[in-house]
Amino acid sequence: MKTKIKKNAAGDFIKDEGVIVSLADGVCWVEGLEGAKNAEIINFENGVTGMIFNLESERAGILVLNDFEKLKRNDRCYASGNVFTSGVGENLLGRVINPLGIALDSGENLEFKQYLPVEKIAPGVVERQPVDTPLQTGIKAVDAMIPIGRGQRELIIGDRSTGKTALAVDTIINQKDSGVISIYIAIGQKRAKVAQIIQKFKDFEVMKNTIVVVAGASDSVAMRYLAPYVGCTIGEYFMEKGKDVLVVYDDLSKHAWSYREISLLLKRPSGREAYPGDIFYLHSRLLERACRLNEKNGGGSLTALPIIETQSGDVSAYIPTNVISITDGQIYLESDLFFSGVRPALNVGLSVSRVGGTAQNKAMKRVAGKLRLDLSQYWELATFAQFSSDLDTATKEKIERGKRIIEILKQPQYEPMPVAEEIVNVYLATSGGLDDVKVEDIKKVETDFLKFMKEKKGKIFDTIREKKILDEIMEKKITDIFTDFKKDRNFVTN
Amino acid sequence: MPVKINKKKVIEINSFIELNKSQKEKIKKSSALLFNVKDPEYLFVTDKGLISGVVLRFGSKVVDLSLKGKLINL
């Protein structure tokens, strides 16, 4: 026993040492480190830190996490015995950090009481429960047609400047009073853009329940690679405490690029589009961590909104198809729609939510049931109508209805809508209430009517919000109020 | 100097001064126990860069008991 204690005490002095034999572009090769483990943190003599990525018989490939320029050949390094961990805690709320947990805002330095490994196996089936609570995005088109549930993974996909980030930011803004903690992870983005987003969060007072993890375009490849895992780990900390968390990965295309960069630098064999063989696992292990835990495990949830940028609308590229197959649905944003003024530029035909339907608000489900069909019919008939001047009444009606639905689903940025107002809006469009209103008047009617309802008939909104149902009596009430409203304000065309 | 992976069981003992026979015997015993190796070979090296003390190496495992190492850690 005495010998054992002595040995343990002495063992603390034993360090596993290695020495740099070559280094370039944020990675280095080290000889020695005989006892090193995969993903182990390596400390260099001059305070630089690295993470083992490749373990070979004679050497190890190390991803340098900070101050790469301080390293030189023959520098010594030591294995720490620990894997990469991220500091977690309530003090992160309202802060902007980098993946190493260093504050990037003007606030005080962060100190953590708890650290969690960033790589973790996702909760198993036994610990989970089905997605059954909606996560309101505040965007009419999404909440009505592609409902997202808490614990779901919904991909936001589209070309550059189609409103992908705007949609995610609006969703975060809509969580202001919902009790959901939001984590926005910026991967490989311009710092100016990130600063604008943070400013918006501050303007809408959502920063108090939001955490921003930034690995910008100028940050090292290691930071960009680690950012989503760090964000997810922070999210899991809150989820395990029984809270609902929303994590936005903006975007995973750039994350895949950073992993490709690392893999090529470490001379791993490349495959399709020069991505390494395990690029699917890179994203599947990350997104699999999104879940809704059962009551026994606290009942918290982690909803993931990954973003993927396509090139010229090509959803059949490698990374988009991978992430589409991993997630529980996608919101496809189209540039043609965006530039024709339909914003959010949602392509209803290609967008889907595989599990959100069960979580959708019952009142919304009732009024939005016909919405997708009406819209799909409109797009089909609108193309057909361009070639034919003589249309029968039914077709004309469908086209007119479609035009009005499109107008009502248009929504400016940074104006997420409370669910009760969304329901009333969608009800007016699908019930034909707007059929006798001029298309160009729709926006004004919508704004004025909601204002009128809030001022004079606020109780209806309260009932929908609380009871989450819209029965026939309530529907009739809304229709009557709207009919009178239209007449009073001369919005009716005939 | 690069650390080579030690295929043979050799414990390298770097010391600031040259050790006498009894010191060598003492350090041999304790280093074998420390690294948990049976019947290793020993290689004694003098290194004036250590300032003071001793550094033991077995493969990539290092026990740095030199003043230089302590100063670096400071």
Distance from CA of B74 to the nearest CA of A (A): 11
Quickly tell me which residue has 């030199």 as its tokens: B66
Query: How far apart are the CA of B40 and the nearest CA of chain A, in angstroms?
Result: 17
**Per-residue confidence (pLDDT) for residue A376, from 0 to 100:** 84
pLDDT tens figures, A432-444 = 889 989 999 999 9
- Token pair of A431, please? 């019930």
Q: Are A326 and A287 in contact (CB under 8 A)?
A: yes
Whole-angstrom distance, CA of residue A398 vs CA of residue A196: 41
Q: Check whether A393 has a pLDDT greater than 90.
A: no
* Chain A residues inside the 8 Å CB shell of B35: 14
What residue in A sits closest to B4 (Cα-Cα)? A32
Q: Please name which of B44, B48, B51 lies closest in space to residue B69, comparing C-alpha atoms.
A: B51
pLDDT above 50 for A252: yes
Confidence class for position A420, pLDDT limits 50, 70, 90? very high
Judge contact between A42 and A33, C-beta under 8 A: yes
Residue tagged 């696992």 (tokens): A281
- Quote ipTM for the complex: 0.79
* Tokens linked to A460: 């209806």
Pick the CATH number of A87-360 from 3.40.50.1110, 3.40.50.300, 3.30.450.90, 3.40.50.2300: 3.40.50.300
Share of chain A above pLDDT 90, in %: 77
Confidence bin at B2 (pLDDT 50/70/90) = low
pLDDT of residue A386: 74
- ∠ CA A212-A65-A184, rounded to 5°: 15
Q: Which residue has the higher pLDDT, A2 or A97?
A: A97
Measured between beta carbons, the chain B residues lying within 8 angstroms of A78 are 62
pLDDT reported for residue A387: 72
Q: pTM for this structure?
A: 0.91
Residues of A at the B interface, defined by Cβ within 8 angstroms: 3, 7, 10-11, 13-19, 21, 31-35, 45, 58, 74, 76, 78
Cα A90 to the chain's mean position, in Å? 21
CA A14, CA B56: separation in Å to the nearest integer?
9
Active site residue A354: yes
For the segment(s) A2-6+13-83, the CATH number from 2.40.30.20, 3.40.50.150, 1.25.40.340, 3.40.47.10 is: 2.40.30.20
Specify the residue for token string 């090296």. Answer: B45
| pLDDT at residue A7, rounded to an integer | 46
**Minimal Cα distance from B70: which residue of A?**
A13
- Residue from A17, A19, A47, A23 nearest A265 by CA: A23
pLDDT at A8: 47
DSSP 8-state secondary structure symbol assigned to residue A65: -
Asked whether the beta carbons of A493 and A434 are under 8 A apart, the reply is: no
d(CA A194, CA A185): 10
pLDDT in tens, A90-139: 999 999 999 999 999 999 999 999 999 999 999 999 999 999 999 999 99
Tens of pLDDT along A451-472? 999 998 888 999 998 888 888 9
What's the mean pLDDT in A68-87?
93
In chain B, residues with a C-beta closer than 8 Å to the C-beta of A76 are: 3
Copy the structure tokens of residue A86. Answer: 């991220």
CATH number of A366-489: 1.20.150.20
- Tell me how far apart the alpha carbons of residues A313 and A345 are, in angstroms, rounded to a whole number: 13
* Per-residue confidence (pLDDT) for residue A11, from 0 to 100: 52
Beta carbons of A34 and B61 less than 8 Å apart:
yes
Q: What are phi and psi of A183, to 5 degrees?
A: -125, 120
B64 touches chain A (CB under 8 A): yes
Is residue A249 within 8 Å of residue A305, measured between CB atoms?
A: yes
Instruction: Report d(CA A470, CA A457) in Å as an integer.
Output: 15
Give CA separation, A457 vs A19, A321, A482, in Å.
74, 47, 11
Which residue, among A468, A409, A460, has the nearest Cα to A439 in the 3D structure?
A: A409
Check whether B8 has a pLDDT greater than 90: no
Q: For chain A, count helices (H), then strands (E).
A: 17, 16
- Would you kindly state where each structural domain of chain A is located, as residue ranges? 2-6+13-83, 87-360, 366-489
Domains A2-6+13-83 and A87-360 share a fold: no
Q: Is the pLDDT of residue A489 over 90?
A: no
Give the mutation candidate from B60, B62, B73 for the A interface (greatest A CB count, under 10 A). Answer: B60
* Rounded distance between C-alpha atoms, residue A421 and residue A123, angstroms: 36
**Buried (b) or exposed (e) across A428-458, using 16+ Cβ within 10 A?**
bbbeebbeebeeebbeebbeebbeebeeeee
pLDDT in tens, A221-239: 999 999 999 999 999 999 9
Catalytic residue among A76, A191, A354, A465: A354
Distance from CA of A20 to the nearest CA of B (A): 8
Is B69's pLDDT higher than 90? no
Beta-carbon separation of A14 and B34 below 8 A: yes
Which residues in chain B have Cβ-Cβ distances shorter than 8 Å to A32? Answer: 2-3, 5, 59-60
Cβ pairs bridging A and B (under 8 Å): 56
Q: List the structure tokens of A442.
A: 């729709």
Q: Which of B5, B35, B64 sits opposite A58 (nearest CB)?
A: B5
Indicate yes or no: CB of B59 within 8 angstroms of CB of A15: no
> Is the pLDDT at A396 greater than 90, yes or no?
no
Average pLDDT, chain A: 92
Q: How far apart are the first and last CA of chain A?
A: 97
Burial class (CB in 10 A: 0-12, 13-18, 19+), A94: middle
The percentage of residues in chain A with a pLDDT greater than 70, rounded to a whole number, is 97
Strand intervals (E) in A85-165? 85-88, 96-97, 114-117, 155-158
Give the model confidence (pLDDT) of B14-61 as tens digits: 999 999 999 999 999 999 988 888 889 999 999 888 888 899 999 889
Within 10 angstroms of residue A332's Cβ, the number of other Cβ atoms is: 25
3-state secondary structure A345-356: CECCCCCEECCH
pLDDT score of A392 more than 70: yes
Q: CA A206, A450, A479: angle at the middle one, nearest 5?
A: 140
The per-residue pLDDT for range A39-49, each reduced to its tens digit, is 999 999 888 99
CB contact under 8 A, B3 and A15: no
